[in-house]
Amino acid sequence: MNGDHDDDDTGNTMTTTDPAQTADTVSITAPRSTGTSATRVVGVAAIVAMAWLVAFGLGFSPADRDQEEAVRILYVHVPTIWLAYLAFVVTAIASALYLFTSKQSLGWDRAAGASAEIGVVFVAVTLVVGALWGRLTWGVFWQWDARLTTTALLFVTYVGYLAVRRLGGSHRQRARRSAVLGLIAVLEIPLVHWSVRLWRSLHQEATVLDTDGDIDMDGLMLFSLFVGVIAFTLLYAWLMMHRVRAMAMEDLVEDRGLDAALAARRAEGGA
Amino acid sequence: MAGHDTAGNDDLDLTPRTNVDGTAVGRTPQRHWLPIVVLALVVVAGGVIVTQFLRSAVDYYCNVDEVGVRDGCDADRRIRLQGTVDEGSIDQRNGVTSFSISFNGETIPVVYDGEPGGIFKECIPVVVHGVIEQGALRGDRVEVKHSDEYVAVNDERVADAKDLGCDASGSGA
């Protein structure tokens, strides 16, 4: 019997095989879909919020004095990097919960992995959209400036984290090594955020998450940014719910293959 | 290879079985080489990123008022110079753009062989890469730096009415 079977936090049923069972009686049940009524509600809310973001970002919010229409990129660029930060913090918290709780539930490991996957996608969007914004405002797509460099390093680090998760071994080996990496990698976030203060940078300093408390942003622009944060937060939640369940099913499929092989072997031994 | 399972079957043969294609029986074939390749690429990419950042940092990032004052901000070496484009200073002729930039009361003329991109205009902070020759910065790259302030165009008209002009005090750069 595979020792990696786990009580699942997602509500999936995971039934392990009894040693006496044969290949024909392996009993594993799993949901046929990652969707639930909760994912449907969050999904619809995310679509509505995205429509709201399009309306405010492209329609109601004004152009900027200096950047003109290019400022509208802000409503995707900033929410995606904030959500990426959140995703990686969730990865770190879930990693800590896996490592430092007595139960060591693989559900925490899957939450960490799913969140990191979504975070990597969001950082990629931030970098691509930021390069386009840079071309329109700075005049260059890329500059080896502190903020851009540290953000690129953050992206590369978490791509590495995802690769480490797929190196093989048992679920628990995967969970242990990726949890350690997840706790180390999150330390890059303060470096990315404070890079514009630590080094002289082409990238502007923070407008909203600034320590002086002043938000130098037009009211409607700020509201549009808020809508963007809500929309991408809902998208993150929707993706998380689906991905965690999908990862549970992937683990289940792997376990079923191993259980089937062991059951077949026992059948051979008994024959 | 023989072993025993949890049910106590001591003679259970645990020798790995393989399919015709060499994959393990009952186990989805996994491509472990792919994450190893990705990890190798990650290490290379990380090295390239850090190297490029350090190479870029070789050119000191100076403000106009630091030229000849701060270490590294000397006239005989390549620097990145930050300042605000002076009002009425932009002159574009024969593909060459001349303008002056100021920071904290100090001003320096800039000659750039080309037309700066982005939102280049008067009263906007810029970073010019180049070497200072005969009192002027010969730039080969101009990057426009926008501040952390976001002001609606309608508000700008109000500001224009008040004739606020350029702010080259360094706060926006």
Q: Count of alpha carbons within 13 Å of B162, Cβ hemisphere only? A: 6
pLDDT digits (tens, 9 = 90+) for B44-96: 999 999 998 888 777 778 999 998 888 888 877 889 999 999 999 999 998 89
- Between strands B60-63 and B78-85, the pairing is parallel
In the predicted structure, residue A24 carries a pLDDT above the cut 50: no
In B16-95, DSSP assigns E strands to: 60-63, 78-85, 91-93
CB A123 within 8 A of CB A148: no
Reference A203, options B60, B139, B172, B146; nearest CA is B146
pLDDT digits (tens, 9 = 90+) for B119-160: 899 989 999 999 998 889 999 999 998 878 888 887 655 555
Domain ranges (residues) in chain B:
60-161
- Does CATH place domain B60-161 in 3.40.50.720? no
A131 to chain B, any CB pair closer than 8 A? The answer is: no
Q: What is the pLDDT of residue A75?
A: 96
Task: Give the closest of B25, B38, B150 to A207, CB-based.
Answer: B150
Domains and CATH numbers, chain A: 34-248 (1.20.120)
Q: What is the pLDDT of residue A23?
A: 41
Task: Give the closest of A20, A65, A269 to B153, CB-based.
Answer: A65
Q: What is the pLDDT of residue A26?
A: 44
Listed ranges A116-120, A261-265, B13-17; the one with the highest mean pLDDT: A116-120
Q: What is the pLDDT of residue B29?
A: 55
In the predicted structure, residue B97 carries a pLDDT above the cut 60: yes
* pLDDT average, residue stretch A233-246: 96
Nearest CA in chain B to A225: B150
A207 to chain B, any CB pair closer than 8 A? The answer is: yes
